[in-house]
Every structure is written in C-alpha cells, then in structure tokens.
C-alpha cells in the first residue's frame, strides 16, 4: 500500500527538517513537501493532494488559523493537525483552530534538552495521530467490528443516576462544546469529564465551555465537593477521580503513572465512579484515539451502571468508543447531536422512576 502523503507547513526551518526526517523514518509515511507559510501551503495542497497536513499556528504572511479557514473552505475533509506551543497563547490558538475544523493538535517539543528526546516525542504523539486520522478501509475492521457482541443482561429498572462521567480525546473539545451546552441549568447530577489535553489547555477548555453553557464548568481541583448541575474537566497532567469524604463526594487528583499513555486517563476516573456510585453511574465515551475508557467502562458495567457511546459517523476517530462497542459494553450508540438529550433523558427518567418506586415502597409500608 502506498505511504500516507504528508505536507508540513511551518515557518521554522529547523522544525520542518525535524518533522520531515522523523515522519519519513516511518515506512507508512512520506513527507511530499514542506512550506514556510500558509499561503505557500495552500498552493502545495492544490498541486500535491496530500492525505494530511501539519500546520503551525504562528507563521508570517498567512498564519495557521487563516490557512486553516481557507483549507476548510476548499478541502472540507482533509485532515489537519495543528502544531502549537505549550503556552497560554498556544493553547488559546489551538482551541480556536479546533473550533475552526482542525482534526487534532500536537504540542511542539520544548525544553527537552535533547534532539533525540524531541524526535521520540514526535514519533510517540504525532505519528499515531496521523495514522488514526488517515485510517484506510483495510485498517477499519479492528476499529469497527461487523457485529456488536451481545451485551450482558441489564437490570429492568436502573437505579437513579447520581453522576455522569464523560471520556473523550481526539475531536473531544468540539464534541464537549456540542454536548455540555445542551444541559439545562437545573441538571440534577454532577458531571465529571476527562479530555486528553496538557496543562493550560484543560483550564482554557473549561473556561470556554463555561462561557457557552447554562451550567458552571470548571477545571477539576483537589477536594472540591461535587454538586448537581456542575461540570468539572480533569486538569492536564493529573489523574482525576471521585472519593467519599464523610457524607459528601469530592474530587481527588494525583500524578500516578499514566495509563494508556494518558494522564489524565478516562479509566482512572471511570474506575472511581464505578467504585463509589455503582449502578447509579452513567458513563459516556466519545470520539477519541486509543483504548482509554474500555476497562473503565467494563468496571461501570460490572457495578451495574450504564455506558453509552458516540457513533462512528459523528466521531473524528472511532477508537475509544469503537473499542467499547467491540467489547459489548455499550448500552446505546448515538450521534453527537443527540447525546445531550439522551443523557438528560436517561438521568431524569431514572430519577423519576426511583422517586416513584420509593413512594410506592412508603405506601406499602
């Protein structure tokens, strides 16, 4: 099979050289050209028809955001990975780029002190994303099984849902921006979420979601008590979990080793939710690359809770939800634009049933 054709657009000669050599070292990838600014990059897209482009955020003549806007006008489905700095300005520009239609992003290696370390980071972070975003039909069966395995037996009447836990990665910022603003201001349970992102990025993501939502959204912090109608995003470089503290539920943070090469990891959050809430937990796995969330979903199912996932058609990458589906752990599969309504329906109906059942038990007594 022919290698994936990549166009690298970056104003730094050094970065272009590192990216070109590192990407080309993989036999499945060919860097067909480089460009020093967005305008040159646009011209080379028309000439070379690459499978994917990497696009620097800050460039002269035409910067990454301007170039991205033009790319989306002309090539709506062309995968674009932004290459941004790990700074507040870089985080803001990256979130702007994702909202404009960038497929994903990678932060530039900085302060590594070693060219070899920088190269290894690019290999570990950028190459897998390129391959996931450019997945060809022959590679899809592992991600999309032809038949869904039969799920385990579910209780006829679920217990009232007391918490919603969300896990997502590639494509997640835009997915969260679709789902979280869909919750009413009186949403009756707390929401905890993991989005694979570095520090600064998660704080800025939470702030942006808060500005567009009817419920408060914050970056998670240690020992914060959980409250209904409030959402927390796990902070970059920290695992987030829930714990019991007296009569209240609180957030807990730690820097234990990464799981699934991620910190924060969805599995860590989901395991804690399963342990604390059991059958009263609802988990949602949305667009993302890799397997994070599968083991956590299994724990939630084993505890009697429920798991729903985003469908393939609306996912940027159907890795995380696809593997939950393949394991027979999904209680429902929904397009992105239906998830907020479905989550709300499940939460409100389960709580109404629980209230009715408690009332009936009281009358019986």
Q: Which residues are catalytic?
A: 169, 196, 292
- CB atoms inside a 10 Å sphere around CB 333: 15
Q: Is 124 exposed, middle or buried (0-12, 13-18, 19+ CB in 10 A)?
A: exposed
Residues with Cβ within 8 Å of residue 143, at least 6 apart in sequence? 135, 318, 319, 322, 323
Under 8 Å between Cβ of 250 and 163:
no
Dist CA 235 CA 142 (whole Å): 31
List the one residue out of 187, 222, 191 whose CA is nearest residue 206: 191
Unique residue bearing structure tokens 């993989």: 26
Q: How many Å is the Cα radius of gyration of the chain?
A: 21
Q: Bin 93: left if φ > 0, else alpha if -120 < ψ < 50, else beta.
A: alpha
Dist CA 75 CA 71 (whole Å): 5
CA quadruple 337, 341, 344, 347: dihedral positive or negative?
Answer: negative
Dig out the tokens for 9 from the structure.
């657009």
List the one residue out of 55, 51, 44 whose CA is nearest residue 130: 51
Q: What angle do CA 159, 164, 165 make, to 5 degrees?
A: 125
């Amino acid at each position: 099979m022919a290698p994936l054709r990549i166009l690298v657009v970056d104003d730094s000669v050094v970065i272009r050289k590192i990216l070109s050599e590192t990407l080309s070292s993989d036999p499945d990838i060919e860097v067909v050209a480089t460009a020093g600014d967005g305008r040159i990059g646009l011209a080379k897209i028309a000439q070379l028809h690459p499978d994917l482009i990497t696009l620097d955020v800050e460039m002269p003549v035409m910067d990454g955001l301007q170039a991205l806007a033009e790319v989306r006008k002309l090539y709506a489905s062309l995968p674009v990975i932004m290459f941004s700095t790990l700074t507040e300005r870089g985080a803001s520009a990256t979130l702007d780029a994702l909202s404009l239609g960038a497929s994903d992003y990678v932060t530039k290696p900085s302060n590594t002190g070693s060219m070899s370390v920088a190269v290894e980071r690019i290999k570990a972070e950028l190459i897998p994303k390129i391959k996931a975003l450019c997945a060809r039909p022959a590679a899809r069966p592992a991600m999309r099984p032809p038949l869904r395995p039969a799920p385990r037996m579910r209780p006829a009447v679920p217990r009232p849902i007391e918490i919603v836990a969300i896990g997502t990665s590639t494509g997640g910022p835009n997915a969260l921006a679709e789902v979280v603003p869909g919750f009413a201001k009186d949403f009756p349970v707390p929401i905890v979420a993991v989005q694979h992102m570095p520090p600064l990025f998660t704080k800025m993501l939470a702030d942006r979601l808060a500005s567009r939502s009817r419920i408060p959204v914050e970056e998670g912090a240690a020992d914060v008590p959980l409250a209904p109608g409030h959402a927390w995003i796990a902070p970059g470089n920290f695992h987030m979990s829930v714990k019991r503290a007296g009569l209240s539920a609180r957030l807990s943070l730690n820097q234990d080793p990464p799981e699934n090469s991620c910190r924060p990891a969805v599995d860590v959050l989901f395991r804690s939710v399963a342990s604390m809430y059991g059958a009263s937990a609802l988990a949602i796995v949305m667009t993302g690359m890799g397997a994070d969330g599968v083991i956590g979903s299994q724990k939630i199912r084993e505890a009697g809770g429920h798991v729903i996932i985003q469908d393939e058609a609306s996912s940027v990458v159907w890795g995380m939800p696809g593997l939950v589906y393949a394991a027979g752990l999904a209680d429902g599969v929904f397009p992105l634009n239906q998830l907020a309504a479905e989550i709300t329906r499940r939460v409100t109906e389960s709580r109404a049933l629980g209230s009715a059942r408690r009332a009936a038990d009281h009358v019986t007594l």
